[in-house]
Structure 1
Amino acid sequence: MKQKKKTGIIASLCTISMTAVVAAACSESPASPGGTTNPSPNNGTNAPAVVPLSLVQPDGGRVWKEDNPVTKEIEKRTNTKLTVNMIPNGDFANKYNVLAASGDIPDIVRSNGFDFQKYADQGLYLDITRYVDQFGPNLKKALKPELWELTKYKGKQFVIPFENVAGKEVPVIRKDWLDALNLKMPTNLDEFEAVLKAFTFNDPDKNGKNDTYGFGTTSRYDETIMPIMGAYGIATGQIGQGAPMMSYLKDNKIYPVAISPEYKAAIEYLKRLWDAKVVDPELFTIKPDQAQQKAAQGKIGYFTAWWSVAPQILTQQLKMKELVPNAKWDPIFPGLKGPDGKSGMQSYGNIGSTVAISAKTKNPEAVVKFLDYLATDEGWELTRYGIKGTHYTSITEPRTPEGQKAFDEKWLDPLSQIVSRQDLVDKVNAASKDPVQVENNRFIDAAASYTLYRDAFYGIPLTEEQKTYGADVSKYEEEMLIKFITGAEPLSKWDEYVETWKRKGGKPILEAKIKTYNELKTANVTSGL
């Protein structure tokens, strides 16, 4: 899947002051949920009744303030009265399970990813298809058809999707080392290997010491090997994290990455790098904070991690420029091509969260109209940046002191994660004149522009087989990957590895997932085993 659009910093990662907002024309008269001007009440006698709406969501690091002037303005413009329950992120799943078990849930429920599926099966949520068609024109316009399709469940639309930026990771390289050694940005695996050798053995920092490695990490090794996997047309997912590796669909068959020929080829390349001693020997054991310190001290020339690691964690938080004045990290772009010309990174999926409506809500029309207002330019801007003239000024200027104080106190934008407008986020970031945000944009844009490989089973719920065997299969995948790369086990044992993978539960997991996939998508795919 190819994504070329510019992307914006998501609200949960934003650690800098807002420097730009979307220039959206705000009506001087209060607007209705549909985005049109509310008629003035006739001396109050014909005023529509205020609609009470309740909502529950993870807090996302924000706090709910009862006298929030922004919330009051939203209520005024939508003719609603909100009751909001903000549950700490880490407690949300357990506390919402208790709430759901009672059968008495709020009108609006925001939850993570595809968590809504198990509750839809319990009959808790409303099929919103006809309500969105009739009362949600801005929702339909704001959200891509793919997002709606991805969140259909058993042929019904139970939720409004919140768009996630699927490209998160960036392979980065020391541009100043390339310049010092008169090397160009690598574009394929052969060039990459040559650069790594030069970074390791040719004294790129010119300190006269043999103290650098070409290939390192700042987080987990499964991130830093991601571009290598992508060069062979695959992505592994989070190795050893309790779930088997990703799968891919080809010619109506689904293949597990962990036993694929592409995966074996990628391992062979990684073993070559290991044997050439261009890989930090602590790659598989170092802790993230220690790895980041090593990178900030100028000991490695390449890593792959979340887009924010190079411009924010290393450069700003760890003050790398003070330690290594000439240091400059650049994204490896457009990517590293493999033998067949492929390149890419792992997709983290397009669905960040979803919003469901209770099947027992008394006024589904009003709920959808409220959500539709939040999808307008005016509604989106209000929920994120507050009241214009009070909390912020314009697209080219920062928050007002009052707005910055509210933002820092985390009560300004508690409803900002209900409805997504990625197009406006992109516009905000592109308009920023803040040097920090401009630097961030280089990495954000790169992350979103790579070819992205998504799991064939993305959005498919856990099966009982995965719950039973998943942890053991995942642990075995990680164990053997490390052994193959380091030479603790020879690749001549590949066939033995594949058969053991199947016996440990890989095969029943795959078969069960395919069965669920076909049921939910009305498809007829088969196993590639």
Structure 2
Amino acid sequence: MKKAFSIICLLALGTSLLAGCGNNNTEANKSSTEASQNTSNKAETVDPNAKYDPQLNISIDFQVADAMAKDFKEADWPNNLWNQTYRDKYGINLNASWFCKGNDLCSQKKSVAIASANIPDIMTVSIDQLAVLSKTNMIRTDLKEVYDSYASDLTKSVVGEAGAAPWDSATFDGKVLAIPQVDSSIDTASFLWIRQDWLDKLGLKVPTNMEDLYTVMKAFKEQDPDGNGKADTYGLMLNKDFLNPGLAEALGIFNGFHASPDIWVRDSSGKLAFGSVQPEMKDALTYLNKMYKDGLIETDFGAKDSAKASELAASGKVGIEYGAMWNGMYPLQQTKDNFKDSNWMAFALASNDDQPAKPQIKLNVRGYYVVKKDFDHPEALIKMLNLFTEANRGPDKEMYDKFFGPDGPGQHPTAFQEWAAKKNLTAHLNVTEALKSGDTSKLNSEEQGYYDNIKKYQAGDNTQAQFEKVFGETGSFRIMNEYDQNNLFQLDQFYGAPTDTMKSRMDTIKKTEIEYFTKVIMGADSIDNFDKFVSNLNGMGLTQITNEVNEWDAAKK
């Protein structure tokens, strides 16, 4: 299924590759015909593919992805396929001033470099670090003009799939200080996963509203859908961190009541408001409390993380869960492994009224590319991004296989990446078209892998059900396509750097929030105390945070 399905490991979602450090070649900087100081007139004169002569040396820092940490060898890095291609195609030679492993360690190294005013020529930073840099004189402020001049149409298309929000998030005082490293936000959306075989056995229809969903969950609890004669099944799989997207969560239930916890939404006046304290939350919490009282959720869900909660799926004891598109692979493939006639299917979120539920998502930016102020060739960054999008999303199958195929270096050895927001949706559409037509000539190696595994499943190999359940004609991406076509995604409307009060108060606010919600669900606290809960959060700093968020919102307009 191609390791490029990296967003899954969004489970792990932590495999972002950040850039690294070294030294620039002053002579090359002076002699190159592509001096970028005069960006205003470049649109008509630049050659995005021009090669530096003499060679341009660029310092970066390099974060080794967790998936590669075991086998990564620093001595091999300078001559990997990406770095060789940068030299051969563009005359760009990268020098890593340091390698680091682990997000915390790498973030610390970058912060030290910023604090000491000793950053590399090109570096990838977090939104917090970008905010710090915005108050210094260390980085270039003309990157958007450079990007507009040098980015290929394909790169602009890939980055453009994420919309304007990534650029807004990189903008401070009206200046774009960084190139956002985009990834897919839509792939974190929630789906309603149901055991279709249990529906069929009990003669039930797929629920489209919250009332029918409750009826189905109650039947799954009380009508012995697994046929073992025991009262040992549950309606919903839920974990203690149910506000976190991904697996065994409750975001889909909140969204079904048009509530949006833990993200910022627009209120009736057009101002930004924190979704967790809006009135719609009360109906969703009441619904979950009723489920708990009726035994549709495990009584000890509050002590189980997502991995522990997912054991219900492996044991065939649950019929419904809310989670991301990749749940068809993990953990729901485990149900198929243990119960060959099981049949999990993804459906759109149920709604409590005649309006569709909107799955909430957050802006997914892996990092921000910044360029040192006295580095004269910011366009070199754009060239390397162009190479990545050309290899990853271009029409040349041989080039894709060279860089991303089974024998290629994969996605990890380069720091310079831009991932299309609809990459996996596009793969689904391409694969299902090939399944209908039988023509696989247009599939890249990743898509071909999905296609081949789906055909194996259709031929009786149940271990490959996961590929059908995600990328196939009955997979979760058929619903993702509906979400996309109907513009249903509810994007978190705050995507700037954490405000001052957020940094000191938000963790405590969210801890208080999850404690109260959990108590309400389990009956240890009352929904009648919701207004008191809101007042408590406001006093803890939420009012000030809301003011700061709206100041940010006003400034970007």
What is aligned with 2:287?
269
TM-score (norm 2): 0.74
TM-superposed deviation, 1:226: 0.8
**Aligned match of 1:78 in 90, 103, 107?**
90
Give 1:455's aligned residue: 492
Secondary structure at 1:66 match in 2? helix
**5 Å matches for 1:491-506?**
491-506=527-542
- Does the 8 Å contact 2:86/2:384 carry over to 1? no
Equivalent residue for 1:9, pick from 5, 9, 15:
5
- Give, in whole Å, the separation in 1 of the partners of 2:171 and 2:539: 33
| Structure 1 residue 163 displacement after superposition | 2.3
Amino acid paired to 2:183: N
Match of 2:274 among 225, 235, 256: 256
Cα pair distance change 1:294/1:518, threshold 3 Å: same
Deviations, residues 306-350 of structure 1 (Å, cap 9, x unaligned): 3323323341xxx433422222211122x2112352402220214
In structure 1, what is the Cα distance between the partners aligned to 2:423 and 2:329? 23
Letter in 2 for 1:205: D
Compared CA separation, residues 339 and 119, structure 1 to 2 (3 A): same
Q: CA deviation at 1:81?
A: 0.9
The alpha carbon displacement at 1:230 in A equals 0.7
5+ residue gaps, structure 1: 1-7, 16-31, 40-46, 238-244, 393-397, 523-529
Q: 1:123 to 1:340 in 2, by over 3 A?
A: farther
- Matched-pair contact (CA < 8 Å) for 1:267–1:485: yes
User: 2:175 corresponds to which residue?
Assistant: 156
Structure 2 residue 140 is the aligned partner of structure 1 residue 135 = no
Structure 1 counterpart of 2:140:
126
Q: TM-score, normalised by structure 1?
A: 0.78
The answer on 1:331 being equivalent to 2:368 is no
1:87 is aligned to 100
Equivalent position of 1:415 in the other structure: 414
Provide Cα deviations, 1:145-198, integer angstroms capped at 9, x if missing partner: 514344322211112222222231333111111111111111110110010010
Contact 1:53–1:367 (8 Å) recurs in 2? no
**Contact 1:219–1:305 (Cα < 8 Å) also in 2:** no
Give the whole-Å Cα distance in 2 for the aligned partners of 1:132 and 1:501.
Answer: 42
Query: Relative to 1, partners in 2 of residues 1:420 and 1:389: Cα closer, same or farther, differing over 3 Å?
Result: closer
Seen in structure 2, the aligned counterparts of structure 1 residues 468 and 68 have a Cα distance that, compared at 3 Å, is closer
Q: 8 Å contact 1:219–1:292 — kept in the other structure?
A: no
Once the two structures are superposed, residues 419-477 of structure 1 have per-residue CA deviations (whole angstroms, 9 ceiling, x without a partner) of 334566654563321325444322355457542223232x2222232233323322221
Contact 1:249 1:456 in 2 (8 A): no
Conserved? CA contact 1:108–1:355, under 8 Å: yes
Write out aligned runs for 1:261-410 (5 A): 261-315=279-333, 319-333=334-348, 335-339=349-353, 341-375=355-389, 377-378=390-391, 399=406, 402-403=407-408
2:193 maps to 1:172: yes
Secondary structure of the corresponding residue to residue 61 of structure 2: strand
> Residues 255-297 of structure 1, C-alpha deviation per residue, up to 9 Å, x if partnerless?
2222211111211222222233222212222233321222210
Distance 1:80 1:438, change over 3 A: farther
**2:233 counterpart of 1:212:** yes
Deviations 1:365-394 (A, max 9, x none): 44434434444x247679x999678677xx
C-alpha separation in 2, matches of 1:108 and 1:37: 19
Q: Name the structure where helix makes up a greater proportion of residues.
A: 2
The letter for the 2-side match of 1:491 is I
Gaps of 5+ in 2: 12-33, 35-45, 431-442, 454-463
**Mapped partners of 1:443, 1:115: distance in 2:** 36
Q: Structure 1 residues 137, 323: CA separation in 2 closer, same or farther (over 3 Å shift)?
A: closer
Higher relative contact order (CA 8 A, sep 6+): 1
Instruction: Report deviation, 1:104.
Output: 2.0
Aligned partners of 1:492 and 1:511: how far apart in 2? 27
CA–CA distance in 2 between the matches of 1:428 and 1:35? 32
After superposition, residues 60-75 of structure 1 pair within 5 angstroms as: 60-61=65-66, 62=68, 63=72, 65-75=77-87
8 Å CA contact 2:134, 2:177 repeated in 1 = yes
Q: Is the 8 A contact 1:163 1:422 kept in 2?
A: yes
2:211 maps to a residue whose letter is D
How has the CA–CA distance of structure 1 residues 389 and 491 changed in structure 2, closer, same or farther, with 3 Å as cutoff? closer
Amino acid at match of 1:158: L
SS of the residue corresponding to residue 304 of structure 1 reads strand
Query: Could you say what secondary structure the match of 2:287 adopts?
Result: helix
Corresponding residue for residue 101 of structure 1: 115
Cα distance, 1:76 vs structure 2: 0.5
Indicate whether 1:52 and 2:71 are aligned: no
Asked whether the equivalents of residues 187 and 336 of structure 1 are also in contact (C-alpha less than 8 Å), the reply is: yes
CA distance in 1, matches of 2:7, 2:515: 36
C-alpha distance in structure 2 between counterparts of 1:370 and 1:289, whole Å: 38
Aligned residue for 1:434, secondary structure, equals: helix
For residues 389 and 311 of structure 1, the distance between their equivalents in structure 2, rounded to whole angstroms, comes to 24
SS in 2 for 1:95: helix
- Which one-letter code corresponds to 2:491 in the other structure? R
Please report how far the alpha carbon of residue 488 of structure 1 lies from its aligned counterpart in structure 2 after TM superposition: 1.8
* Aligned mates of 1:199, 1:35 — CA distance in 2: 63
Are 1:247 and 1:456, in contact at CA under 8 Å, matched by a contact in 2?
A: yes
Percent of residue pairs bearing the same amino acid type:
19
Shift of 1:52: 1.1
How has the CA–CA distance of structure 1 residues 219 and 79 changed in structure 2, closer, same or farther, with 3 Å as cutoff?
farther
CA distance in 2, matches of 1:232, 1:388: 43
Q: Match of 1:68, as an amino acid?
A: N
Aligned residue identity for 1:454: L
1:86/1:187 CA distance change after superposition, 3 Å: farther
Residue equivalent to 2:252: 227
2:86 is paired with a residue of what secondary structure?
A: helix
RMSD of aligned Cα (Å): 3.3
When structure 1 is superposed on structure 2, of 265-274 and 107-116 the one drifting more is 107-116
Mapped contact 2:78–2:94 kept (Cα < 8 A):
no
